[in-house]
């Protein structure tokens, strides 16, 4: 190989000169020839040095692969280097190879100050029933820890990768948000995921809380999806091999969370299907739009907020939710570092059909069509500074309730929010948010938030 390199380089350098030879071309002097020889020698030395470095890395990787067997054979052997010993260049490669088996770890530290004009303990969304443990509303007043997130992710082998996201909530509860494995080599645009994950329906639902543009999710998500839909199950995604984005997604799950009620037994209590498409318009604009549908089953699901005086009602039946989402982004010449704008909106409609009963078993048929929407815009007007405005509205509809359990008044919950955000770097954020919340009848709840989020460790790129 080494003998062919000089010849190839000389041929490559000589070909253009030969092609451009003309009778008037002056003779090459001795200094020019020596300069060419020196340049060829420099390239040869660099190439040989690169080959030697690659051979050393290969040998180091092979040694690291054999190391576990050697350690098992001599369990009393001392480590090659002490933890605080500075390693040489030759020992750094095996250490790096061993570290390749460690997962990427990231930690999102979050906290906020909350001030409200109405007591958040009595927060309800008028006309909408939610489970007692639903995370709706502004949360506790005063200083509190936000939803901090610890995430692990790594490639398992050439065919699979795994990830887990663990959440620490303000009330000191600990939960598993996501824990799944997914394929990396199915080919033909397919990806299969198994475990616990946020559903791919809509636009906001698959996103973790620290990627939201506002402190909280909009009212339609809180009222119709219990803030965010996550479940244990299987997900199959397909991205078409086309210039324009076309993604199809189908999921089956246990259906344990709202709007489901863990009634599946051996079957699937939740099924979803989504289609999204998008693309670029010139150099400065991009967009994405889609439609999603989910169907969930519930058996004796306890709901608070439908009957008067917060009396619990129990729903048995099916819920089907349709979601239409659209996002448009603008950045001058595709460069979003200085200024950019994002406009997004979603429309949700839920149809519930089954029976509704009180704790004593009295009740009857129940059908309802409920809907909601939100629109928000976020503008980065200078580096590190963003401002956003969001408006949202709900409609509980007129339920079919012959037993008269639902205490409907025709009130339509609504909310407006304004936020200002400063990002000292891509790893830190401080956000102020003002909101006028009319989810409950009566006086508006004037809300004020100060939120911080800090990212530690390796963290993957966010979705579009």
Dist CA 255 CA 196 (whole Å): 11
Q: pLDDT (tens digit, 0 to 9) for every residue of the chain, 464 residues total?
A: 444 444 443 444 444 444 444 444 445 566 667 777 777 777 776 666 677 667 667 766 665 555 444 334 433 333 333 333 333 333 344 444 445 567 889 999 999 999 999 999 889 999 899 998 888 899 899 998 888 899 999 999 999 999 999 998 877 888 899 999 999 989 899 999 999 999 999 999 999 999 999 999 999 999 999 999 999 999 999 999 999 999 999 999 998 889 988 765 788 899 999 999 999 999 999 999 999 999 999 998 999 988 877 789 999 999 999 999 999 999 999 899 999 999 999 999 999 999 999 988 888 999 999 999 999 999 999 999 999 999 999 999 999 988 888 887 789 999 999 999 999 998 999 999 999 999 999 899 999 999 999 999 877 667 77
Q: Does 51 map to a domain?
A: yes
Q: Does 173 map to a domain?
A: no
For residue 53, the model assigns a pLDDT of 67
| Residue 439 CB partners (closer than 8 Å, separation 6+) | 123, 124, 125, 126, 137, 219, 394, 413, 414, 415, 445
Q: Does 88 map to a domain?
A: no
For residue 5, the model assigns a pLDDT of 40
Find the helix or strand (DSSP H, E) in which 166 lies: strand 160-168
Residue 253 in contact with residue 270, Cβ under 8 Å?
Answer: yes
Nearest to 376 by CA among 220, 230, 199: 220
For residue 74, the model assigns a pLDDT of 38
Radius of gyration of the chain (CA): 30
Dist CA 391 CA 330 (whole Å): 20
Residue 459 in contact with residue 106, Cβ under 8 Å?
Answer: yes
DSSP string of 113-163, one letter each residue: EEEESS-GGG---TT--B-TT---SS-SSEEEE--EEEEEEEEEETTEEEE
Residue 155 in contact with residue 176, Cβ under 8 Å?
Answer: no
- β-strands 414-425, 340-357: how paired? unpaired
For residue 72, the model assigns a pLDDT of 40
The tokens describing 10, both together, are 């000389």
Q: Does 448 map to a domain?
A: yes
Find the helix or strand (DSSP H, E) in which 91 lies: helix 89-99
Q: Does 152 map to a domain?
A: no
152-162 residue pLDDT tens: 999 999 999 99
* Structural domain range at position 430: 119-139+181-457
Residues 346 and 216 grouped into a single domain: yes
Q: Does 171 map to a domain?
A: no
Residues 48 and 123 grouped into a single domain: no
Residues 128 and 221 grouped into a single domain: yes
Residues 280 and 409 grouped into a single domain: yes
Nearest to 419 by CA among 387, 451, 464, 390: 387
Q: Does 362 map to a domain?
A: yes
Q: What is the CATH number of the domain that holds 206?
A: 2.40.160.10
The tokens describing 463, both together, are 């979705």
For residue 44, the model assigns a pLDDT of 72
For residue 92, the model assigns a pLDDT of 40
User: Nearest 10 degrees: CA dihedral of 18, 21, 27, 28?
Assistant: -40
For residue 102, the model assigns a pLDDT of 77
Nearest to 216 by CA among 350, 462, 415: 415
20-61 residue pLDDT tens: 444 444 455 666 677 777 777 777 766 666 776 676 677 666
Number of domains the chain is built from: 2
Residues 188 and 51 grouped into a single domain: no
Which residues in 111-123 are b (16+ Cβ under 10 Å) and which e?
A: bbebebebebeeb
Residue 399 in contact with residue 419, Cβ under 8 Å?
Answer: no
Residues 401 and 255 grouped into a single domain: yes
Residues 191 and 55 grouped into a single domain: no
Which residues in 193-223 are b (16+ Cβ under 10 Å) and which e?
A: bebbbbbbbbbbbbbbbbeebbbbbbbbbbb
Residues 324 and 408 grouped into a single domain: yes
For residue 59, the model assigns a pLDDT of 67
Q: Does 97 map to a domain?
A: no
């Amino acid at each position: 190989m080494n003998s062919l390199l000089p010849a190839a380089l000389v041929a490559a350098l000589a070909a253009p000169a030969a092609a451009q030879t003309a009778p008037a071309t002056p003779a090459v002097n001795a200094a020019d020839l020596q300069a060419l020889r020196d340049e060829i020698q420099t390239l040869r030395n660099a190439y040989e040095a690169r080959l030697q470095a690659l051979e050393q890395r290969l040998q180091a990787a092979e040694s690291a692969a054999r190391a576990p067997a050697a350690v098992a054979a001599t369990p009393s052997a001392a480590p090659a280097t002490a933890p605080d010993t500075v390693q040489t260049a030759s020992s750094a490669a095996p250490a790096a190879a061993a570290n390749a088996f460690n997962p990427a770890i990231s930690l999102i530290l979050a906290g906020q100050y909350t001030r409200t004009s109405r007591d958040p303990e009595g927060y309800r969304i008028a006309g909408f029933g939610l489970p007692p443990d639903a995370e709706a509303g502004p949360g506790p007043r005063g200083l509190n820890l936000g939803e901090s997130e610890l995430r692990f992710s790594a490639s398992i082998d050439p065919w699979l990768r795994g990830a887990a996201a663990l959440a620490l909530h303000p009330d000191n509860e600990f939960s598993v948000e996501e824990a799944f494995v997914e394929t990396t080599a199915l080919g033909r645009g397919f990806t299969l995921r198994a475990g616990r994950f946020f559903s791919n329906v809509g636009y906001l639902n698959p996103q973790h809380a620290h990627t939201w543009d506002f402190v909280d999710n909009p009212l339609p998500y809180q009222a119709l999806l219990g803030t965010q839909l996550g479940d244990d199950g299987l997900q199959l995604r397909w991205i078409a091999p086309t210039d324009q984005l076309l993604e199809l997604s189908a999921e089956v799950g246990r259906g344990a969370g709202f709007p489901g009620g863990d009634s599946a037994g051996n079957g699937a209590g939740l099924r979803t299907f989504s289609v999204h498409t998008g693309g670029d318009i010139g150099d400065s604009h991009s967009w994405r739009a889609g439609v999603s549908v989910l169907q969930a089953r519930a058996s004796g699901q306890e709901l608070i907020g439908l009957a008067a005086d917060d009396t619990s009602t129990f729903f048995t039946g099916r819920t089907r939710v349709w979601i239409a989402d659209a996002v448009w982004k603008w950045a001058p010449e595709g460069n979003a570092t200085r200024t950019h704008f994002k406009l997004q909106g979603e429309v949700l409609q839920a149809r519930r059909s089954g029976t509704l009963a009180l704790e004593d078993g009295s009740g009857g048929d129940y059908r309802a069509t409920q809907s909601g929407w939100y629109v928000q815009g976020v503008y980065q007007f200078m580096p590190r500074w963003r401002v956003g405005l969001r408006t949202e509205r709900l409609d509980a509809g007129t339920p079919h309730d012959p037993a008269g359990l639902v205490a409907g008044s025709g009130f339509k919950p609504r909310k407006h929010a304004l936020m200002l955000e400063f990002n000292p770097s891509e790893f830190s954020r401080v956000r102020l948010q003002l909101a006028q919340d009319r989810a409950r009848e009566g006086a508006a709840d004037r809300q004020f938030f100060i939120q911080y989020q800090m990212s530690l460790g390796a963290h993957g790129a966010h979705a579009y």
